[in-house]
Amino acid sequence: MADQKFYYCTKHHTVEGEEGCRAADRLGPYDTAEEASHALEIAAERTKSWDNDPDWNDEAPKEP
């Protein structure tokens, strides 16, 4: 299935398909199971990036 999506379940700490846990307990969708398995790392990287984005954070350093 080329159009199958994968999710990371934060409750069970597992990768699952579309017929998994409720949406409130999942991160995704991701195109591959491998990508979904790194969901927590991806989320942490995005959060760090957003925390330091001067367009969304008045305390973030402005780029020259």
CB < 8 Å & 24+ apart, contacts of 7-10: 7/36, 7/39, 8/36, 8/37, 8/39, 8/40, 10/40
Kindly state the average pLDDT of the residues 49-62.
Answer: 73
pTM: 0.75
What is the domain partition of the chain in residue ranges?
Answer: 6-51
Whether residue 64 is preceded by a cis peptide bond, meaning omega within 30 degrees of 0, is no
Tell me the per-residue pLDDT of 10-49, one tens digit each, with 9 for 90 and over. 999 999 999 999 999 999 999 999 999 999 999 999 988 8
- Contacts (Cβ under 8 Å, ≥6 apart) of 12: 21, 25
CA of residue 37 relative to chain centroid, distance: 10
Place 62 in a pLDDT band, splitting at 50, 70 and 90: low
